[in-house]
Amino acid sequence: MREFHLPVWLGAAPVSHAMVFALLFFFESIARTILLTVVPLQAYRVLGDAQRVSLLYFGAGLVGIAGSLTIPWLVRRLRRRRVFSLGVLAMALAAVMFTREDTLGLAAGLALMAFATSCLGIAMNLYVMDHIQRRDLNRFEPMRMFLSASAWAVGPWLGVWLAANVQASAPFVLTMASSAATLGFFWYLRLTDNPAVASAPLRSPNPMRYLPRFFGQPRLRLAWILAVGRSGWWQLFYVYGPIYAVSNGFSDVEGGTIVSVGSAALFLVPLWGWLGRRYGLRRLLVASYGFAGILTMAVAAMSDMPWLGIVLIVGAALGASGVDGGGNVPFLRAVRPLERAEMTTVYMTYRNASQLGPPAIYAFLLRTFELPAVFIAGGAMTLAMAWLSRYIPRRM
Written as one string, the DSSP assignment of 168-212 is TTHHHHHHHHHHHHHHHHHHHHT----HHHHTSPPPP--HHHHHH
Quick check: helix, strand or coil at residue 243?
Answer: helix
CA dist 94 and 389 (Å) reads: 35
pLDDT at 17: 66
Contact 129, 344 (CB under 8 A): yes
Distance, in Å, from the CA atom of 145 to the CA atom of 152, rounded to the nearest integer, reads 10
* Residue 292: per-residue pLDDT: 96
pTM: 0.83
How far apart (Å, rounded) are the C-alpha atoms in residues 350 and 104?
Answer: 25
Sign of the Cα pseudo-torsion (191, 213, 288, 377, in order): positive
Q: How far apart, in whole angstroms, are the C-alpha atoms of residue 144 and residue 159?
A: 22
Q: How many CA atoms lie within 13 A of 157 on its CB side?
A: 14
pLDDT of the residue at 5: 34
CA distances from 200 to 24, 216, 286, 334 (A): 26, 22, 38, 20
> How confident is the model at residue 134, as a pLDDT?
65
DSSP 33-65: HTTTTHHHHHHHHHH-SHHHHHHHHHHHHHHHH
d(CA 258, CA 313): 9
> What DSSP designation does 296 have?
H
Kindly report the length of the chain.
396
**Do the Cβ atoms of 152 and 263 come closer than 8 Å?**
yes
pLDDT at residue number 198: 47
**Listed residue (226, 225, 228, 235) closest to 317, CA to CA:** 235
pLDDT value of residue 320: 93
Q: Please calculate the CA angle 362-368-369 and round it to the nearest 5 degrees.
A: 70
Mention every residue, 6+ apart, whose C-beta is less than 8 A from residue 21.
Answer: 124, 127, 128, 131, 132, 140, 144
pLDDT by residue, tens only, the chain of 396 residues: 333 333 333 333 344 567 777 788 888 888 899 999 999 999 999 998 899 999 999 988 887 777 777 877 888 888 888 899 999 999 999 999 999 989 999 999 998 998 898 888 888 877 877 777 766 666 676 677 777 888 889 999 999 999 999 999 999 999 999 999 999 988 888 776 555 444 444 454 455 677 888 888 898 999 999 999 999 999 999 999 999 999 999 999 999 999 999 999 888 877 887 888 888 888 999 999 999 999 999 999 997 899 999 999 999 999 999 888 776 778 878 887 777 767 877 887 788 788 888 999 999 999 999 999 999 999 999 999 999 999 887 766
What residue ranges define each of the domains in the chain, with the CATH number in brackets?
8-196+206-391 (1.20.1250.20)
Burial class from Cβ neighbours inside 10 Å (0-12, 13-18, 19+) for residue 48 reads exposed
What is the distance in angstroms between the CA of the first residue and the CA of the last residue of the chain? Answer: 28
Residues 6 or more apart whose CB falls under 8 angstroms from that of 156 comprise: 33, 36, 37, 238, 256, 257, 259, 260, 263
